[in-house]
Structure 1
């Protein structure tokens, strides 16, 4: 057995226990890609070393309250990772959470060795990530922060929201379940009291959001359950297209968002297979970007969608 590898894993398990109120053995096994038996043995090693771990069947492991060890020094590579982490957080998070993260990171930087601080300061200026203006609604700079607070405190939120199908901003009262990123946008799943069902919302379509003092009425399962359920209920459509070899690489940038499965090279062309949930005609509109270099092989319904879009455009051109 690799003793050094086991030592690193046991130490990492300890940090997981210190960072979370409860940690499940299965989650640890999945993270470190080892068996449950190995995790049980590693936890026992920590207990034998004097770490006060409380375990309950079906619940998980936790450290006895108030048990801590002094801050651990970061390795040089861990310290350098702060540079990219802060830039990424500023790009993907809203203004308020981004500021909270920067403040937390500043406290972490304070315990670095002087040499690591020098290296980090040098590298920070060498990393640049341009923030997309349409990624978040800049008029609601604390939307993510309010969502996280509502989830953590299990309190209802009131928001002004404009859906993709509507031109009117409507007031809604929701109970947020979880937040996820898909494609180029943040989304959140929530129980909507107005619709009396669990709905998916896109963060940049929120025009106002506030935390209320009203607690959740319902009890909800983990976010992953609702995302899997959403995938099961949506109708999956098989799509095959043929693209010229010279244009095929352009499709690789976005095709994963449309259910790409595989590609097969055939002479001067590439055939691509998709399993897509083409709920609002997104695939047809995306395909039109490359229509001069591509052909739809199946299904017929997609061909009709593309033709309808082209007919509409041609009529507009003729009317001008």
Structure 2
């Protein structure tokens, strides 16, 4: 239990039991009496009216109390759905915490609210991946959380989707972790890469042989993960005309490299923005004759070459 949670628990314990000695609180929270003294002092400095009486212990000033939390059915459903997501997508530690939290929330809900929340929640379902407890990505996620909390650098073997300039897809990376992000169904690490000497994104499912280094690694003081927006380096573009019978499929695909879509009499015109042609060519070719590259001519020629290579197999 961290310091903040313990201090709140001390406050709740005093509210529930009236008066307790430091020794009693230390026994409840399995910590030292000195730690309890520091916690009580911190609560007092924060404005909580705690009274200390020799031989009797600590108590809250009469009339002071923490009001119980009251949740509407919609608020309860919001929290429970959030816990469903955590249970499905986080590592085993957070999965267990989500399960415990669900039990606690359900136990404090009034019976009427609990029934209504169950009724509302029955109309929702999160369809996400159900990886086993020992899934490599979840284990990697747990290790990276530890590295971020302990401010330690990490080392791992990273496999890129496309070869780099040296022709290799795999490189050993030493990274200062800044944070973790769940994007389009996948976890990614944001951190400073020693090899590239810049901020990079690394998908967890492409990492292997991850280990935490003893070297301390602290993100810049002015870095804010919540406010961070990556630079868009998709400097190449392609316009593709999609047949109308696949237009809805294209719209629903949410393909990352789609920039704009516009309906025209002869089809759906899609503009793709990307870094390398290899990022989008398989997607375009996957539609066969339903997709026609309009411009630029260099990419039309690239498609022609790919089709000729395909013909050699048939």
TM-score normalised per structure 2: 0.65
SS at match of 2:136: coil
The 1:250–1:209 alpha-carbon spacing in structure 2 relative to 1, beyond 3 Å, is same
Q: How does 1:23-172 map to 2 (within 5 A)?
A: 65=46, 69-121=66-118, 127-132=124-129, 138-165=135-162, 171-172=172-173
The 1:263–1:225 alpha-carbon spacing in structure 2 relative to 1, beyond 3 Å, is same
The 1:72–1:264 alpha-carbon spacing in structure 2 relative to 1, beyond 3 Å, is same
What's the counterpart of residue 289 of structure 1? Answer: 286
The 1:136–1:258 alpha-carbon spacing in structure 2 relative to 1, beyond 3 Å, is farther
CA contact 2:74–2:117 (8 Å) conserved in 1: no
Residue 226 of structure 1 deviates from its aligned partner by 6.3
Q: Give CA-to-partner distance per residue, 1:265-314, whole Å, 9 cap, x none.
A: 31xx3232425124252221111122321211112232233233323333
Distance 1:224 1:311 in 2: 47
The 1:165–1:257 alpha-carbon spacing in structure 2 relative to 1, beyond 3 Å, is closer
What's the counterpart of residue 42 of structure 1? Answer: none
Residue 210 of structure 1 deviates from its aligned partner by 3.7
Give 5+ residue unaligned stretches, structure 1: 1-17, 20-63
The 1:65–1:284 alpha-carbon spacing in structure 2 relative to 1, beyond 3 Å, is farther
What's the counterpart of residue 238 of structure 2? Answer: 239
Residue 72 of structure 1 deviates from its aligned partner by 1.8
The 1:161–1:105 alpha-carbon spacing in structure 2 relative to 1, beyond 3 Å, is farther
The 1:133–1:275 alpha-carbon spacing in structure 2 relative to 1, beyond 3 Å, is same
Distance 2:295 2:141 in 1: 40
Q: Give CA-to-partner distance per residue, 1:53-87, whole Å, 9 cap, x none.
A: xxxxxxxxxxx747694442111111122443233
CA contact 2:241–2:270 (8 Å) conserved in 1: no
Distance 1:97 1:288 in 2: 41
The 1:282–1:171 alpha-carbon spacing in structure 2 relative to 1, beyond 3 Å, is closer
Q: Give CA-to-partner distance per residue, 1:145-173, whole Å, 9 cap, x none.
A: 33233334422223343333478865433
Distance 1:135 1:307 in 2: 43
1:254 aligns with 2:256: no
Larger radius of gyration: 2
Distance 1:281 1:312 in 2: 15
The 1:76–1:133 alpha-carbon spacing in structure 2 relative to 1, beyond 3 Å, is closer
TM-score normalised per structure 1: 0.64
Distance 2:133 2:196 in 1: 25
CA contact 1:258–1:275 (8 Å) conserved in 2: yes
CA contact 2:188–2:204 (8 Å) conserved in 1: yes
What's the counterpart of residue 175 of structure 1? Answer: 176
Distance 1:188 1:120 in 2: 35
Residue 123 of structure 1 deviates from its aligned partner by 5.8
The 1:156–1:106 alpha-carbon spacing in structure 2 relative to 1, beyond 3 Å, is farther
What's the counterpart of residue 203 of structure 1? Answer: 204
Root mean square deviation, CA, Å: 3.6
Count how many residue pairs are aligned between Structure 1 and Structure 2.
251
The 1:127–1:90 alpha-carbon spacing in structure 2 relative to 1, beyond 3 Å, is farther
Q: How does 1:217-228 map to 2 (within 5 A)?
A: 219=220, 221-223=223-225, 227-228=229-230
CA contact 1:134–1:204 (8 Å) conserved in 2: no
